[in-house]
Amino acid sequence: MNRKPLNDISDSDIKQFEDDGVICLRGMFDQDWIDRMNAAVNRTMDAHHPDARQREVTKALGGDKGRFHINSFVWRWDDDFRAFALESPCPEIAARLMKLDKVSLFYDQVFVKEPETAERTDWHHDLPFWPLRGGNILSVWVALTSVNSDNSALEYIAGSHKWGKFYKAAIPDNDPHFKSDFEECPDFSKERRNSDYRFLSWEMQAGDCLVHHPLTVHGAEGNFSPSRRRAAISVRYMGGDAVWDPRPATMRIPGDPQYPAGQFPNMPDVFPPAWQAR
């Protein structure tokens, strides 16, 4: 299994990421990682580990077909996910795009939409969910299956990370913990013909990854394929100007760590160092 990205990340890639708030990087993970993590996803989807943070969106919303499964902080209790978060190309990709000499793991998240899953991923950006602030936080969303518009490819609004917006967290199963007075994120699905917005989406193969800024607005339709699953792992990293900001209505971190607001959360047991330049 490769530890370094299989392909170089160029200066033009970094500029595209900075301008658009998202980039698709092709073929960064070898087949061994894809096989290992598909098996790990299958194993953990129905695990009853006490630390599992599962959301069964289809079931919660009363759907009767498909399955939209989310699981978070899996690295804390599964060795394969821990290896993927800390030993795969993910952390070096994150550091390179943020132009940092070191990054720490924030958390990981699994997203599976089985065939004929109608539930969409509402338009949102990530930072309002998180007890963090800063620009040096990003997500590496690794495709474990092929992805296209039929089976719930992600869509992004280019440059939306520069809008100065902080939309209300959009939780697919409507968890009341995340209620806030922030502005609702518009449904940009209705704006695809609006020339004010530039939509970005990619067909992907297993081993490709999307990397996005925490304020880049994105969403996805349901998985309309009768036979093709969409499975991905998104690993989030931080460094640089990221600071702890334990606001109300943000995600609960396992163990409820206490740390002074306004400082980088130097808690290696909770957010372990993931990569450092040599």
CATH number at residue 228: 2.60.120.620
pTM, two decimals, is 0.96
Please state, in angstroms and as integers, the Cα–Cα distance from residue 266 to each residue in 33, 103, 177, following that order: 29, 11, 26
Whether residue 252 is contained in a domain is answered as no
Domain count, the chain: 1
Domain annotation covers residue 266: no
Burial class (CB in 10 A: 0-12, 13-18, 19+), 98: buried
| Amino acid 176: pLDDT | 65
pLDDT of 171 strictly over 90: no
Identify residue 227 by its one-letter amino acid code.
S
Structural domain contains residue 276: no
pLDDT digits (tens, 9 = 90+) for 239-275: 999 999 998 889 999 999 999 999 999 999 999 999 9
Residue 129 within any structural domain of the chain: yes
Q: Determine the structural domain holding residue 189 and report its residue range.
A: 11-242
Q: What value does the mean pLDDT of the chain take?
A: 95
Burial of 42 per CB tally in 10 Å (0-12, 13-18, 19+):
exposed
